[in-house]
Amino acid sequence: MNTTFPLQDKTILVTGGTGSFGKCFIKKALTEHNPRKVIVFSRDELKQWEMRQSGGVFDHEKIRYFLGDVRDKERLLRAFRDVDLVVHAAALKQVPAAEYNPTEFVKTNIHGAMNVVDAAIERGVEKVIALSTDKAANPINLYGATKLCSDKLFVSGNAYVGQRGVPKFSVVRYGNVLGSRGSIVPRWREMVAAGAKELSITDPRMTRFWITLPHAVDFVIANFGRMLGGEIYVPKIPSMKILDLAEAIAPGLKTNPIGIRPGEKLHELMIGEDDARHSLEFDDCYAIAPEAVASRRMASYDRLRGIGGRVLPDGFTYMSDTNTQWLDVAGLRGLLAGIGMDGQPIPVVAGATR
């Protein structure tokens, strides 16, 4: 197993490949990991065209652009032919939109996940990592509920692979991505650039987990090298206060609390007390072992402990307001210095730490 360069000489497919994560992952893969081929799978022809026209690595000879929707299993079967690794990043993710369009979120986030699992098994893909969210832990909104269901589908997928032992399915769960498309950072920056006299915030007490796009990409790549199948990986990342983020973006600008949106939490949770009972700690992350281990090939609590996982204390939770790592205003400004107006990383990230 190549744990240092797990993407080397592999054919990789990224669902939702034109999104913020997909573009950052593909750039990193092609410039640092020497894959055989990278397939961008997404449903929007304009975004694919714009991505290719942006030039540089996105017009690389190893890239293939493949139009399709994860709701369409037949199209996935065609796309997954001779693919080694899949990153499932396609999802509908806007919390308020989910509350008013629940069936659309179910079709993409749940039925789409089922299709990815089935297509990967039928095509004999080696490994699949699905991207999750902190909102899938003890969900209170429709989006989080669909992603929790998706997580369960990918974990359970390991029970259906038969004697071949592939694919291995695992999940990566992390918090808000600093500067990703549609997030608060680009929106506030646009408001400031337009001369806004105040920033609208939901609640001044709010806290969130935060991760940069490069960190999220590195974490996914690392997990391709160590995954056993069935575990949910949660990175150790800092929290921040919404008021500190506002101050970092617009020093001294007045904030206007407008109240929490439908389906939104005051603080985010990534590992609840119930999950913690079958979770283990590693130096850079936590790993949630599957509750039901249906195959000896799957990750289990004992297998994860056997490769260095440390037992968590009774009553442990991983929550944004009780986190031990925090970003202050200065730290947030350092990270934001490396985020462009489009949410993509720019070459130099001043003050960023791992």
Q: Looking at the annotation, which residues are catalytic? A: 135
- Reduced to 3 states (helix: H, G, I; strand: E, B; else coil), residue 87 is strand
Please give the radius of gyration of the chain, using alpha carbons only, rounded to the nearest integer.
20
Question: How far is the C-alpha of 180 from the C-alpha of 342, rounded, in Å?
Answer: 8
Q: Are 93 and 143 in contact (CB under 8 A)?
A: yes
Residue 317, judged by CB atoms within 10 A of its CB (0-12, 13-18, 19+), counts as middle
Put residue 169 in one of left, alpha, beta given phi > 0 → left and psi -120 to 50 → alpha. Answer: beta
Task: Output the DSSP codes for 205-272.
Answer: T-EEEEE-HHHHHHHHHHHHHH--SS-EEEE---EEEHHHHHHHHSTT-EEEE--PPTT--SS-EEE-
Question: How far is the C-alpha of 110 from the C-alpha of 265, rounded, in Å?
Answer: 22
Q: Are 24 and 344 in contact (CB under 8 A)?
A: yes
Report the amino acid identity of residue 175. Answer: G
- φ, ψ at 229 (rounded to 5°): 115, 115
Residue 100, judged by CB atoms within 10 A of its CB (0-12, 13-18, 19+), counts as exposed
Q: Are 17 and 42 in contact (CB under 8 A)?
A: yes
Tell whether the torsion through CA atoms of 345, 61, 44 and 95 is positive or negative. Answer: negative
Return the half-sphere exposure (C-beta side, CA atoms, 13 A cut-off) of residue 163.
0
* Contacts (Cβ under 8 Å, ≥6 apart) of 234: 172, 173, 174, 270, 271, 279, 285, 286, 287, 288, 318
Question: How far is the C-alpha of 74 from the C-alpha of 236, rounded, in Å?
Answer: 38
